[in-house]
Structure 1
Amino acid sequence: MTQINGYTEADQERWVPEPAKKSYRTAFARDRARVLHSSALRRLGAKTQVVSPTLNDFVRTRLTHSLEVAQVGRELGAALGCDPDIVDTACLAHDLGHPPFGHNGEKALNKLAKDIGGFEGNAQTLRLLTRLETKTFRHNGHSAGLNLSRAALDASCKYPWLREEAPLRNGKQTKKFGVYTDDQPVFDWLRSGPDSVPGRVCMEGQVMDLADDISYSVHDVEDAIVGGRFQLRWLLESSVRDRALQVTKDWYLPTTDESDIDAALTRLEASAEWVSHADGSRRARAALKDMTSQFIGRFCQAAMDATRSEFGQGNLTRYNAQLIVPEETEHEIAVMKGIAANFVMTKEELQPMYLNQRQILTDLVDLLSDNEDKYLEPIFAADYKDAANEQGRLRVVIDQVASLTDASALEWHASLVKGESYEPKLF
């Protein structure tokens, strides 16, 4: 087994042992390749990030977002001494479990799965990596998914706990969790080891999480501006600014004083890269790109400097360090997310669309559940037949619906539920 700086042989182990291979690639490079070539990753190209990919050719999809997160995470991780392939793998995998219609679809499926342990995109990611994708099989004939290394799977686990073990945050139990009860055996395996800390995300997972936050904080704002949703100069109007600050506080910084949030926005506005108005020209597009690039560098550099100051040089890996993000940087990232949320995700005119999306997924789950394995894809039909009880069969139906892209969910609904032919909109 190839020695990798900062990582043990146990970090490179796989749930199902595989024959040793003579290769120029490390175990972690193979992990990255397995995710990169997975069908689950390809499907993200037709899944909503913020705005549906059917509405605009420019906006980011879950796939392009994941590629951007991987670029940010890989470079930050390498600078901190993490193996870049582990971080890259975790970043590519972090959104695999998202269903059609983004977080709105996640809410719908969670409600439908309330009696079988709920639905959570991060837990679904672990399920995809260790069960639903196909690469290797266990001794009992069941799929072991992509059979990634322990370190790569651990890095992909953003919320390393079961739903009932979710910790308290701001005095409330978080709704986020990273593993379903019936996937606990592989979770226990990947979290085993003398250095693992219960409930703590490993260093590579922390880098992935920050890269995700940074990426969508700046890119959602860029997408919204290019899509004509708003201009940053609107924030100079007091009522608009107050509303954006309140959304930031309500959604991302509930325990932070609003004056500190306003100070974070003021710092960003004072930067040379801030684009108050973008008129759609090439020069304006270039200015927006420069703003997002500079802000990514700003946020990453602040975290790297603070982490190195605390833990020194060398390979900061697994559980020998923690990523330090300065409070001011956390506020700046959050305010960018709050701006996008204020102008895009809370728009009242979008609520009927969100309601319709949730109804589509509800109709599909109901119809598939009423027709046994009749309409399921072959791999899910096999899972349905192997399920031990009604709860297990419902989980298979949820797996099937979650695997659909936005367009295929609309197509299935039109043909199976409404008995109509699906005509995609062309723009």
Structure 2
Amino acid sequence: MAQQDARVHRRSGDAAPGPADLASTPFRVDRDRIAVSPFFARLGGVTQVVSASGSGLLHNRLTHSIKVAQVARAIAERMVADPDLASTLDKLGGCDPDVAEAAALAHDLGHPPFGHLGEQVLDRLARHRFALPDGFEGNAQSFRIVTTTDTRGPTAAGLDLTAAVRAAMLKYPWTRRGHPVPHPGDMPIPPRGAAEPAETPGVGAAKFSAYVTELDDMREARAPFEGVIADWQQTVEASVMDTADDIAYAIHDLEDFHRVSVLQHAPVAAELGRWESDRRALAALSDAELATRQRVPGASLERLRRRLQAKDDWIATDDAFAAAVSRVRESLVDGLLAVPFDGSVEAEQAVAGFSAQWTARLVQDIGLLTDPPTRSGHVVLAAQQWHEVQVLKFVHRRFVLLRPDLALHQRGQARLLTALVEALEQWLGDRYEVSRLPRRLHDLVELASAEYAGLLADEPEVLTAPSGERPSGPDAVRALARGRAVIDFVASLTDGQASILLDALSGRSAQPWSDTFVL
């Protein structure tokens, strides 16, 4: 009973639903608060892979989040209904379908304009231009929104969600550096996302779920699970959400790009078919020899097999990988892609059937590990399905994300975001015009100023830069606050809002900016 009380604890201490809440149970209240948040609504205008303003046939972050929530709830309900899992779930801190669904709805709230490309650009600007020690990360931004910057909750500071839902949002339950101690990035085999990216050494974890400004919120959300699961391990409900995200991502992006004729039958068939026919010859090549054959069909898939063997030997096997390639070829190449999408009833049914069959297959054999390896959560796909997801995600990356035409589009988006951040920073520094700042940006500066001043007084070590420098004095607080406020502001825009706002700031727009959610 004590643990359940801790799970439903809110930051405000008010366990009863607020006057605007329609639901009567704590976790349903959380789910509803997320669903009516303007940050959730804006996901309809945020890129999933390519711009949400395109054909209208493609997923955006909103439709993706709804599908992840659907899968997460299905997984949680199956687990809760299994009497053999009841005692294990209880020992691991609990699993409530409402919590899993709420966390899934909220997991992408912090994604900025233009999806992962925007995330990379804002992180680079946050670290290099504004010297923010923890930069920008979409998962951490989602957590910041529900705990801090969303003003639609009863306390006007975040959504005042329960500890269980906040903990379930922590896909990577650590900060970029420093928390918990020892940091999971220093483990012999770090959890997924905890290690530094090879291309940017010294920056800290590649993925993380909280900034230092929300460190207290992270600690409080994780308190009910202290001594129950490792401090670097996801809760069961977070693991459900993470698994559901993988399933949805693996399926619906392939569906999207088949519909718009980007995912072509011939190159996918060549890659999978050649690997199957030449797998022994490819396996006999050295890494150096394989690297010289980057454009040869089958070589990229062989590199994936080797990467899985090296990083995930706790589950990866050659036989399961080969079976996964065969199943994906049969279903995707010989099935879905064999007939071009033409908008007919038959074509729509083929897409729907592909999506439904794969979703059901991946959900049907979800397992629960009491003592998972560091690169896994408690909730896992069956071994064969795990391999199939890796192959499906490979097809998406190899034949969609690495296309030169997409890279061309994204380079323009990167320049747009960089120019927008620079323009807003200049506005903040203009003493003649600072009083005319967008009211939302002004409020974000005040919020961040209070946060950084508090951290500098109480926990200055968390503000230490990778270089070892530590900010001091009001000027340093002001600079950090301005940087975080600009990043928060830009991250809260849709793709279209970012473009239109830059046009206005550049004098290219004939009409005044009028989006009251932003301004």
The count of corresponding residues between Structure 1 and Structure 2 is: 401
1:203 aligns with 2:236: yes
Q: TM-score, normalised by structure 1?
A: 0.86
- Aligned residue among 269, 272, 275 for 2:336: 275
Q: Identify the range of structure 1 (63-72 vs 236-245) with the bigger mean alpha-carbon deviation.
A: 236-245
1:157 corresponds to: 170
1:359 aligns with 2:359: no
Is the CA contact 2:17–2:24 (under 8 Å) kept in the aligned structure 1? no
2:398 corresponds to: 342
1:268-289 Cα offsets, whole Å, 9 max, x none, are: 3345994242332321221121
Is the CA contact 1:62–1:95 (under 8 Å) kept in the aligned structure 2? yes
2:352 corresponds to: 289
2:443 corresponds to: 382
1:38 corresponds to: 37
Identity %: 32
Letter in 1 for 2:29: R
Is the CA contact 2:149–2:158 (under 8 Å) kept in the aligned structure 1? yes
Is the CA contact 2:427–2:437 (under 8 Å) kept in the aligned structure 1? no
Letter in 2 for 1:186: D
1:199-257 Cα offsets, whole Å, 9 max, x none, are: 11000110100111100101000001001012345433237752662575599776467
- Aligned residue among 153, 157, 176 for 2:207: 176
1:315 corresponds to: none
Is the CA contact 2:421–2:490 (under 8 Å) kept in the aligned structure 1? yes
Letter in 2 for 1:156: M
Is the CA contact 1:244–1:339 (under 8 Å) kept in the aligned structure 2? no
Distance in 1 between the 2:486 and 2:309 partners?
A: 36
Distance in 2 between the 1:350 and 1:250 partners?
A: 27
Taking structure 1 as reference, are residues 144 and 252 closer, same or farther at Cα in structure 2, changes over 3 Å only? Answer: farther
Letter in 2 for 1:267: R
Taking structure 1 as reference, are residues 189 and 295 closer, same or farther at Cα in structure 2, changes over 3 Å only? Answer: same
Is the CA contact 2:33–2:153 (under 8 Å) kept in the aligned structure 1? no
Distance in 2 between the 1:180 and 1:358 partners?
A: 23
1:322: how far off? 2.0
Taking structure 1 as reference, are residues 190 and 172 closer, same or farther at Cα in structure 2, changes over 3 Å only? Answer: closer
Is the CA contact 2:8–2:15 (under 8 Å) kept in the aligned structure 1? no
1:125 aligns with 2:125: no
Taking structure 1 as reference, are residues 219 and 124 closer, same or farther at Cα in structure 2, changes over 3 Å only? Answer: same
1:406: how far off? 0.3
Letter in 2 for 1:47: V
Distance in 2 between the 1:37 and 1:160 partners?
A: 26
1:403 corresponds to: 492
Distance in 2 between the 1:364 and 1:374 partners?
A: 19
Is the CA contact 1:231–1:278 (under 8 Å) kept in the aligned structure 2? no
- For 1:178, what is the secondary structure of its paired residue? coil
Taking structure 1 as reference, are residues 48 and 264 closer, same or farther at Cα in structure 2, changes over 3 Å only? Answer: same
1:9: how far off? 1.0
- Aligned residue among 88, 100, 113 for 2:126: 113
Distance in 2 between the 1:21 and 1:89 partners?
A: 16
Distance in 2 between the 1:99 and 1:253 partners?
A: 33
1:263: how far off? 3.4
1:414: how far off? 1.4
Q: Identify the range of structure 1 (100-109 vs 410-419) with the bigger mean alpha-carbon deviation.
A: 410-419
Name the structure, 1 or 2, with higher relative contact order (CA <8 Å, separation 6+): 1
Larger radius of gyration: 2
Is the CA contact 1:376–1:400 (under 8 Å) kept in the aligned structure 2? no
Distance in 2 between the 1:53 and 1:340 partners?
A: 18
- Aligned residue among 178, 182, 187 for 2:218: 187
1:184: how far off? 0.6
**Counterparts in 2 of 1:13-92, with a 5 A limit?**
13-18=9-14, 20-21=16-17, 25-81=24-80, 82-92=95-105
Is the CA contact 1:97–1:124 (under 8 Å) kept in the aligned structure 2? yes
1:368-421 Cα offsets, whole Å, 9 max, x none, are: 111115675423312214524211110000000000100011111112135334
Is the CA contact 1:163–1:175 (under 8 Å) kept in the aligned structure 2? yes
- For 1:389, what is the secondary structure of its paired residue? helix
Taking structure 1 as reference, are residues 356 and 366 closer, same or farther at Cα in structure 2, changes over 3 Å only? Answer: same
- For 2:209, what is the secondary structure of its paired residue? coil
1:259: how far off? 7.5
Task: In structure 1, list runs of 5 or more residues that go unmatched.
Answer: 312-320, 423-427
Letter in 2 for 1:285: E
Is the CA contact 1:99–1:403 (under 8 Å) kept in the aligned structure 2? yes
Distance in 2 between the 1:60 and 1:271 partners?
A: 21
Distance in 1 between the 2:401 and 2:435 partners?
A: 36
Distance in 1 between the 2:118 and 2:12 partners?
A: 33
Q: TM-score, normalised by structure 2?
A: 0.71
Taking structure 1 as reference, are residues 420 and 65 closer, same or farther at Cα in structure 2, changes over 3 Å only? Answer: same
Is the CA contact 2:65–2:104 (under 8 Å) kept in the aligned structure 1? yes
1:176-210 Cα offsets, whole Å, 9 max, x none, are: 01111111111111111343530110001101001
- Aligned residue among 241, 250, 269 for 1:217: 250
Taking structure 1 as reference, are residues 100 and 189 closer, same or farther at Cα in structure 2, changes over 3 Å only? Answer: same
1:69: how far off? 0.6
Distance in 2 between the 1:21 and 1:259 partners?
A: 52
Distance in 2 between the 1:30 and 1:284 partners?
A: 40
Q: Identify the range of structure 1 (333-342 vs 159-168) with the bigger mean alpha-carbon deviation.
A: 159-168
1:343: how far off? 1.6
Is the CA contact 1:166–1:177 (under 8 Å) kept in the aligned structure 2? no
Is the CA contact 1:368–1:376 (under 8 Å) kept in the aligned structure 2? no
- Aligned residue among 8, 13, 31 for 1:12: 8
Is the CA contact 2:9–2:15 (under 8 Å) kept in the aligned structure 1? no
Is the CA contact 1:247–1:341 (under 8 Å) kept in the aligned structure 2? no
Taking structure 1 as reference, are residues 242 and 197 closer, same or farther at Cα in structure 2, changes over 3 Å only? Answer: same
Taking structure 1 as reference, are residues 144 and 283 closer, same or farther at Cα in structure 2, changes over 3 Å only? Answer: same
Taking structure 1 as reference, are residues 24 and 354 closer, same or farther at Cα in structure 2, changes over 3 Å only? Answer: closer
Distance in 1 between the 2:436 and 2:265 partners?
A: 47
- For 1:179, what is the secondary structure of its paired residue? coil
**Counterparts in 2 of 1:224-263, with a 5 A limit?**
224-232=257-265, 234-237=267-270, 238=274, 241-242=297-298, 245=301, 248=304, 255=311, 261-263=321-323
Distance in 1 between the 2:326 and 2:17 partners?
A: 55
